[in-house]
Amino acid sequence: MSSRITIREIAKRAGVGTTTVSRVLNDHPYVSEDKRQRVLDAVDALDYRPSQTARHLRGSPSGLLGFLTDDVATTPYAVDIIRGAQDVAWRHNMVLLVADSGKNPQSADAALDVFLEREVEGIIYAAMYHRPVELPAALAKAPAVLANCYLEDRSLPSVVPDEFGGGYSAVETAIRAGHKRIAFINLWDDNVGVTPPFPAIYGRLRGYRQALTDHGIAVDDALVRFSNQTPPENYRLTRELMALDARPTAIFCGNDKIAMNCYSALAELGLRVPADVAVIGFDNIAHIAEGLLPALTTIQLPHYEMGRWAVQYLMDRAQGEGEPPQVALPCPLVARESV
Q: How many CB atoms lie within 10 A of CB 51?
A: 12
Strand spans (E) along the chain: 64-69, 95-100, 123-132, 144-150, 158-161, 182-187, 224-227, 250-253, 278-280, 298-299, 326-329, 333-334
Q: How far is the CB of 285 from a second copy (least distance, A)?
A: 6
Residue 109 interacts with a second copy (CB under 8 A): yes or no:
yes
58 binds a second copy (CB under 8 A): no
Preceding amide of 274 cis, omega within 30: yes
Q: Exposure pattern of 282-310 as b/e (b: 16+ CB <10 Å)?
A: bbbbeebbeebeeebbbbbbbbbbbbbbb
- Identified binder of a second copy from the candidate list 11, 14, 43, 72, rule CB under 8 A: 72
Contacting residue, 17, 178, 197, 291, with a second copy by CB under 8 A: 291
Residue list 233-272, contact with a second copy (CB under 8 A): 235, 256-257, 260-261, 263-264, 267-268
Identify the residue among 2, 191, 195, 319 touching a second copy (CB under 8 A). 2
Residue 65 interacting with a second copy (CB under 8 A): no
- Interface pick for a second copy out of 7, 112, 128, 149 (rule CB under 8 A): 112
Buried b (16+ CB within 10 A) or exposed e, 91-119: bbbbebbbbbbeeeeebbeebbeebeeee
Of 266, 269, 270, 287, give the one whose Cα is nearest residue 338.
266
- Would you count residue 76 as binding a second copy (CB under 8 A)? yes
Is 311 a binding residue for a second copy by CB under 8 A? The answer is no
CB of 64 to a second copy, least distance (A): 9
- Shortest Cβ 130–a second copy spacing (Å): 18
From 96, 159, 237, 310, residue interacting with a second copy (rule: CB under 8 A): 96
The smaller minimum CB distance to a second copy, of residues 222 and 286, is found at: 286
Using alpha carbons, select from 108, 168, 160 the residue that is nearest to residue 134: 108
Residue among 44, 276, 290, 316 that touches a second copy (CB under 8 A): 290
Which residues lie across from 184 on neighbouring strands? 224, 252
Toward a second copy, which CB reaches closer, 2 or 319? 2
191: CB partners within 8 A, 6+ apart: none
- Tell me which residues in 118-177 interact with a second copy (CB under 8 A): 118, 136-138
Please give the C-alpha separations between residue 289 and each of 29, 117, 297, in angstroms, as whole numbers: 45, 43, 7
Instruction: Please report, as ranges, the residues that interact with a second copy according to CB under 8 A.
Output: 1-2, 4, 47, 49, 52, 72-74, 76-77, 79-80, 82-83, 86, 90, 95-100, 104, 106-107, 109-110, 112-114, 117-118, 136-138, 231-232, 235, 256-257, 260-261, 263-264, 267-268, 285-288, 290-293, 295
